[in-house]
Amino acid sequence: MTTFDKREQGFENKFVHDEEIRFKATARRNKLLGDWAAGQLGLAGDAARAYASELVTADLANRRDEDTLHKVSNDLAPKGISEQQVAARMDEFYRFALQQVQAGN
């Protein structure tokens, strides 16, 4: 294997690793967002877990971040919570989730 091949393989491995971290952090962010939104909606117990779980599994089915944002924003609009507030929470939860995943938690 040449030096170029080793370098290429290293870049490919880093890409795969970074994508795995991003995937795990996004799933964790959606769980945190779902827990928060469920609380805002007054859901508890199984209903709250189901709501949060729906956000995680829907994202696995190729849902984009914008889709998740719009779903939660539409659900919370009657509670007076704006899309900007939901987006800010999503960003906050993603940073927190990324730190956790990178720390191995």
pLDDT tens figures, 48-63: 999 999 988 886 766 7
**What six digits make up the tokens of 14?**
């880093």
Using CA atoms, how far residue 77 sits from 21, 26, 37, 40, 92, in Å, is 31, 23, 11, 11, 19
Percent of all residues in the chain with a pLDDT value above 70, rounded to a whole number: 96
DSSP class of 79: G
Contact criterion met (CB below 8 Å) for 41 and 66: no
> pLDDT-derived band of residue 32, with 50, 70 and 90 as boundaries?
very high
Q: Can you give the residue ranges of every domain in the chain?
A: 29-102
